[in-house]
Amino acid sequence: MRKRHRHRGPDGQSEVRLRVPRRLALQGDIVTHAINLVVTLTGCYETAIISDIAVDATGTIYVVNGSLNTANPATGACTKIGTGTVNTTGLTFLPKGVLDPAGEVLVGYDGGTYELVNVTTGKTQALGYLSKSPAVTLSSSGDLVYTRDKHLYVSVHGVGEDGKACGDCLAEAAPLTGAIIKSFGDIKHADVYGLATWGFDVFGFTNGEAFFQMHRTGETLTITDLKIQNAPKAPIKFGGGATSTL
């Protein structure tokens, strides 16, 4: 993949990786709102559904389709890692020092279970839950993301602690346990399968083609709908999003 100029911002870059079902990996620019095809994934979607992607600090693309894979950024070819089963519907890398002092780690949610995903063995380890209350049925609706101001956000749906149905809502979770710290309520969009970040803001991408920005001021969340500037004629139904920890 050819190197491209990157718009510099609060976190050093504005480009994110996006996945469109079933097999296209796109590159989106948060500043210009433009998207471009990166590569067509092969070898990891033909017999299984891709649930999400993640990108580490080196630019390595990880793909989950019931197992963990890496995807070659030049050819799109997927290579399976280990023999573990990975059913997370959302993935993100936590920077070095957040969960592991030695390096960044891959985490995600399988329903309401928060898991550590070993990028060497392809196996998972449960770290905690969105909630332990039997009355709370919240689960990840699609993705999670860690922002530069050290907040972990996850899109969720189900019944929250207030007894109200939520779909979709944005919640802040504890990076160590995955437990909900705060819910910001309904975010006016359903099927938020992709989350990305630039600076301190979170950007959502839905299976219904929507693209929007979420800006937090204290305990208040402001949502702004955005428009993709060079959208193709064919509908874009986003199936995942990823931002590297750089």
CA distance linking residue 145 with residue 134, whole number of Å: 26
Q: How does residue 81 score in pLDDT terms, banded at 50, 70 and 90?
A: very high
Q: In this predicted structure, what is the pLDDT of residue 197?
A: 85
In this predicted model, what pLDDT tens digit does every residue of 218-229 receive, in sequence order?
999 999 998 777
Segment 231-236 shows an average pLDDT of: 58
Q: Between the ranges 13-22, 144-153, 237-246, where is the mean pLDDT highest?
A: 144-153
Q: In this predicted structure, what is the pLDDT of residue 28?
A: 54
Segment 153-168 shows an average pLDDT of: 86
Segment 34-60 shows an average pLDDT of: 76
In this predicted model, what pLDDT tens digit does every residue of 88-106 receive, in sequence order?
888 999 999 999 999 999 9
Q: In this predicted structure, what is the pLDDT of residue 232?
A: 57
Q: How does residue 109 score in pLDDT terms, banded at 50, 70 and 90?
A: very high
Q: Between the ranges 75-84, 106-115, 141-150, where is the mean pLDDT highest?
A: 106-115
* Cβ atoms of 204 and 226 closer than 8 Å: no
Q: How does residue 233 score in pLDDT terms, banded at 50, 70 and 90?
A: low
Residue 177 has pLDDT above 50, yes or no: yes
Instruction: Tell me what the pLDDT averaged over the chain comes to.
Output: 80
